Structure 1
Amino acid sequence: MGSKADLATSLPEALRNPNNCVVQKFPGIPYTFGYRPHLSAGVVFIVLFFLAMAYHLGMAMNKKRWPSVILAYGAFTELLGWAGRTWASQCPYNQHAYLMQIVTLVIAPVFFTAALYVQLGQLIHVLGKESSRLPARLYLYVFVACDVLSMIIQVIGGAIAGRASSGHRGVSPAAGTNIALAGVVIQLASTALFTGLVVDFRVRAGRMGVIPRSYRPVFAALFVALACHLARDVFRAAGLAEGWTGPLLRRERAFVSLDGFLMLLAVAIFIALDPARIIDAADLLPAHGQVQRAKEMVEEENGSVNGEGRGYNTQRRAF
């Protein structure tokens, strides 16, 4: 039997044309995904990401918070990716549907992590920069730069692999895989480093006793989202290490569970534990956050002495 490229070029134009919509399985030519994506999975994720987008867009308009705006963009981009997979469920050989989902599902997590960087910056402003090892803006600049770099590398690698899978001569699928893998490794390392810095900030702020009980859900949401991103990056790296045609990336259930569901959880956790509802807008005003925290510390310490308040001493022991 000839190579995949030879087989592809011997097929009818209806299949070689990137605009095709052929459902029939051709012997010897696997579907572009290695399987035919399920329509139901695509529809469910489209609906759920639309609801997440609508919520965060509404909060962005109501609360005027940047994390809400960025999360809405990320949910919309995920929606587009799952729309591409839904399209592919009806046209499993279609290259445009394949590339659409590759590009958008690589870009979407960049929005989600950018929202985390902005959210950490707001916490640093409110709780005090003394608890952070880096200036708030530096987190945003450094880690967004890393994410954008990894995104560009992954998109380039995915595009090369997509062209190779469609039978283009002179295009190596291995080259595309290796390029995309390098991008995922950069993303994984960046997310792991940021997670460590968030943990460090939480520990230092906790020891200083500047975290009100009401803010604990914000940190919980951050850690859940970061765990989702780390798990997804590990899945992507492990899958690409086997190659685009490897068993891990050719299992739809694995992709749905370890990419789609994890990214849905990463954005949905900020619906259940939304910092836009928890953090007072007044605390985000210039030079106000630390003053407000100081006032709360005095009030809660006084309440602790009188047996009426929550008390920062209790918070420190409970950390």
Structure 2
Amino acid sequence: MSDFRKQLQTGCYALIEGHGTAYGYQPSLAAGIVFLALFGLSLLAHMVQMTWTRTWWCAVFSVGCLTEILGWVGRTWSAQCPYNMNAFLMQISTLIIAPTFFTAGIYILLGQFIHLLGRQSSILTPSLYLWIFCTCDVISLIVQAIGGAMASAETSKPNGNTDPGTHIMVAGIVFQMFSITVFVACAADFVRRCLRYRLLRTVSGSLVPLFAAMIFSVLCIYTRSIYRTIELSEGWSGYLITNERYFVALDGAMMVVAVVVFNVFHPGMLMPRGKGSESERESEMRSGVSSSCGLNGAGMEEY
């Protein structure tokens, strides 16, 4: 029996009645092909847009798409070979960490906003955003990867205990949710300052569409994190993890729109290039403070 199980896990066999898979179902081939196409097109578009606009930091979106593609290759492979553990490990180890690259791009983008509008627009400097939140993402990524590796190793063993690895994965995702929550609070403070000091008037063009795209992407990633947390908290035989439609809607679809929105509203194409003079910007700041606080320009000393 152990030899037969080993053959199932290393070979490519069709679904056998009475023998469950590590997924709890046979992954959809159609879903795999659709998401491979969507992430592939987004990857291609991001590479062209990044090169055309020379916004090289946008490479993080391309890396995220590539990681998603690897994961969906694994799921497409599993659609044909549902018992193959290499395919299972391939998809779980990549799809769990892919959003980290998207959030890194979002953190950099907010830093670009702050750099453009001035230090008064944020409680943190652009470099601090990058260091703090990207460090949190890396920690989350490492914790999730360790937990995923432990849990995946146990799924290939008869009566293996996946609980320790699963709990570690959940801890990593919860930590990522916490860091995103703090980031959202900082982004809300950024909006408050921009409105209060009328900073958008100091730049040519409008940041609103690009900022809206950033918030939309964050919400999609946050929704996915909530789903993943609940899914893994239920265990590997829970309701959510054994029903593919939830994974397709709350992970795959969320990640597609989270990255495609930056194809539609690409930072390199929409980020304003010019800004008002220093004296003009200071004048706008004083005007904003005076109207909102009833103070003269000296009121800015609080900030």
Is 1:66–1:115's contact at 8 Å kept on the other side of the alignment? no
Equivalent residue number for residue 267 of structure 1:
259
SS of 2:10's partner is coil
Q: 1:154 to 1:12 in 2, by over 3 A?
A: closer
Is 2:15–2:26's contact at 8 Å kept on the other side of the alignment? no
Equivalent residue number for residue 12 of structure 2:
21
Equivalent residue number for residue 187 of structure 1:
176
TM-score, normalised by the number of residues in structure 1: 0.83
Deviation by residue 1:185-219 (Cα, 9 ceiling, x = unmatched): 10111111111111110111121111156210011
Q: Aligned pair 1:136/2:129, yes or no?
A: no
Equivalent residue number for residue 228 of structure 2:
236
Q: 1:294 to 1:99 in 2, by over 3 A?
A: farther
For residues 145 and 259 of structure 2, what CA distance do their matches in structure 1 show? 22
Shift of 1:292: 7.6
Long gaps (5+) in structure 2: 288-303
Deviation by residue 1:235-263 (Cα, 9 ceiling, x = unmatched): 00011111122111111000000000000
**Alignment RMSD, CA only?**
2.1
SS of 1:175's partner is helix
TM-score, normalised by the number of residues in structure 2: 0.87
Aligned length: 282
Q: Aligned pair 1:216/2:208, yes or no?
A: yes
Find 1:32's aligned residue among 19, 22, 25: 22
Partner letter of residue 264 of structure 2? A
Q: 1:13 to 1:81 in 2, by over 3 A?
A: closer
Is 1:158–1:176's contact at 8 Å kept on the other side of the alignment? yes
Equivalent residue number for residue 143 of structure 2:
153
Equivalent residue number for residue 298 of structure 2:
none
Q: Aligned pair 1:291/2:277, yes or no?
A: yes
Find 2:83's aligned residue among 75, 88, 93: 93
For residues 210 and 34 of structure 1, what CA distance do their matches in structure 2 show? 53
For residues 6 and 193 of structure 2, what CA distance do their matches in structure 1 show? 63
Long gaps (5+) in structure 1: 1-7, 284-288, 302-319
Find 2:270's aligned residue among 278, 296, 304: 278
Shift of 1:10: 6.4
Partner letter of residue 20 of structure 1? G
Displacement over 3 Å in runs of 4+? 10-13, 289-298
Q: 1:73 to 1:100 in 2, by over 3 A?
A: same
Partner letter of residue 11 of structure 1? F
Shift of 1:13: 3.8
Q: Where in structure 2 are the equivalents of 1:42-57 lying within 5 Å?
A: 42-57=32-47
Equivalent residue number for residue 249 of structure 2:
257
Shift of 1:293: 9.9
